Amino acid sequence: MGFELPRVTMCCFCFSLRTGALLIGYVSMFSALASLASTSVFIYLVSRYVSDHADNPPQGHTQAEVQSNAVRLYIVHGLQLLGFLFYFVISLLLVIGAHKKQPRYMRHYFLAGAVNLVFSLAVVTVSFLFTGFLTTVAQLMGCAILFYFLLVIRSAFLELEEAARPKVYELTQYQPAPLIT
């Protein structure tokens, strides 16, 4: 037993679905690039900290602890870089699909966004348990925005698919007029 997701006819009550998909795609690409840049800067800062404190670790810590923590940070931020790179590629597919009117490219963004939404909702649940209500509200608003964006993208690629489908004309049964004698 399933349910049909709702469809929207316009993005933000003033843009067409295609324009909305393009805006979402470009904002997503910019967000991914900004995240890539900030994570790269953070990795650089960690490596610089480790090299500056190679001979004299901070008080209360050994050189092995500093190195171990640095490796953990490298792994975590390396995985973040891969995630942001994936997000950039998926956003690029959305932009290409919207420009070329190719719904199959846009569908990839929708599927990746749906998986992201599920993980984000799991993070909201865990966040509520450990950090409290205010942090959870902000994350829940982010999930609601992501859900709306996914509705816009889905509506846009369904509109493109329906426009590409050949028209089906319904035939009605012919009933001749009665003969006058």
| pLDDT tens digit sequence for 118-175 | 998 888 888 888 777 777 888 899 899 999 999 999 999 999 999 888 777 766 677 7
Per-residue pLDDT, 132: 74
The reply to whether 175 falls in a domain is no
**Residue of 37, 132, 53, 123 whose CA lies nearest to 85:** 37
The reply to whether 23 falls in a domain is yes
CB-CB contact of 11 with 42 (8 Å): no
The reply to whether 177 falls in a domain is no
Provide the number of structural domains found in the chain. 1
Q: Mean pLDDT across the chain, nearest whole number? A: 88
The reply to whether 176 falls in a domain is no
The reply to whether 149 falls in a domain is yes
- Containing structural domain, residue 75: 17-164
The reply to whether 170 falls in a domain is no
The reply to whether 150 falls in a domain is yes
Which two three-digit tokens encode residue 138? 């902000």
- 134-155 exposure pattern, b = at least 16 Cβ within 10 A, e = fewer: eebeebbeebeebbebbbbbbb
The pTM of the whole model exceeds 0.85: no
Confidence of residue 39 (pLDDT cuts 50, 70, 90): very high
The reply to whether 43 falls in a domain is yes
